[in-house]
């Protein structure tokens, strides 16, 4: 079916493919950080009921069950339909650039896994690196970003940054190149600091609390891609 490109592979097919793949992304997000197998059947987070096939249809099942488990009637996480839709739109926008679709999936899993569990799964870093190698890898910016985070890790004795951030820095540098990686770091530290101050002021976090930095890095990467032209003018104009 995917042998013929162009007119035969419609955007709708890729959107639906993305939504279906999004279900698998949810499995990766919640199981990789906890070291669980990704092959077992999905179950309800509250009552552990194993889900039947008709409870696993992306988006449709969630809407059909009004966002609740069929057995215990507890609320299902909004994460499930949100990740499914995000993957659907990601595939729709990025196809047929398969390398970018691979990187998109890896970064989406890392974003939510780091936010929820403060863990960046190594396997997703490898998937992302594979995607970057398939597109146009920038080795020097990758190594540069990794060294930068390694330095921070050494200076803060592992309390400020995790080794996951070192690996994510390498992946983003490899994928973005210069000057996009520099701008991504700038945005990440700026937004990270702003959110940190807001959380402390609202007493949601103390000065010693840890906030996952991965999501800020990925946000920075996204902004550096969307505003590439503007950034280039900043960096290279006299």
Residue with tokens 């609740």: 68
Total residues found in the chain within this entry: 238
Residue (31 or 205) nearer to Zn ion, CB: 31
Query: Which listed range, 48-56, 91-99, 116-124, 157-165, lies at the site for Zn ion (CB under 5 A)?
Result: 48-56
Contact residue for Zn ion among 46, 56, 57, 225 (CB under 5 A): 46
Binding mask 186-225 for Zn ion (x = CB under 5 A): ----------------------------------------
d(CA 24, CA 32): 12
Instruction: Kindly state whether residue 68 participates in binding Zn ion, applying the rule CB under 5 A.
Output: no
Site for Zn ion in 16-45 (CB under 5 A): 44
Helices (H), the chain: 11-31, 60-64, 79-94, 98-117, 122-134, 139-155, 163-176, 180-201, 214-226, 228-236
Residue (46 or 116) nearer to Zn ion, CB: 46
With a CB cutoff of 8 Å and minimum separation 6, the contacts of 214 are 110, 111, 114, 115, 120, 164, 165, 168
Instruction: Kindly state whether residue 69 participates in binding Zn ion, applying the rule CB under 5 A.
Output: yes
Query: Which listed range, 19-27, 54-62, 66-74, 119-127, lies at the site for Zn ion (CB under 5 A)?
Result: 66-74
Q: Are 183 and 220 in contact (CB under 8 A)?
A: yes
Residues in touch with Zn ion (CB under 5 A): 44, 46-47, 49, 69, 71-72
């Amino acid at each position: 079916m995917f042998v013929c490109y162009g007119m035969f592979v419609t955007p709708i097919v890729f959107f639906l493919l993305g939504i279906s793949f999004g279900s698998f992304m949810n499995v990766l997000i919640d199981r990789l950080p906890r070291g669980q197998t990704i092959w077992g059947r999905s179950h309800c987070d509250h009552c552990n009921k194993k889900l039947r096939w008709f409870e696993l249809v992306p988006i449709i099942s969630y809407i059909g069950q009004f966002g609740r488990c069929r057995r215990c009637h507890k609320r299902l996480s909004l994460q499930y339909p949100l990740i499914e839709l995000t993957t659907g739109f990601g595939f729709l926008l990025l196809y047929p650039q398969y390398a970018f679709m691979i990187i998109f999936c890896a970064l989406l899993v890392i974003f939510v896994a780091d936010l929820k569990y403060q863990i960046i799964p190594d396997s997703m870093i490898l998937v992302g690196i594979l995607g970057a190698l398939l597109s146009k890898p920038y080795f020097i910016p990758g190594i540069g970003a990794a060294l930068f985070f390694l330095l921070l890790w050494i200076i803060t004795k592992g309390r400020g940054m995790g080794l996951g951030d070192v690996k994510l820095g390498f992946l983003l540098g490899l994928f973005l190149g210069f000057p996009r990686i520099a701008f991504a770091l700038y945005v990440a530290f700026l937004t990270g600091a702003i959110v940190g101050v807001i959380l402390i002021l609202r007493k949601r976090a103390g000065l010693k609390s840890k906030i996952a930095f991965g999501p800020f890095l990925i946000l920075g990467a996204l902004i550096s891609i969307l505003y590439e032209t503007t950034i280039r003018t900043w960096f290279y104009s006299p």
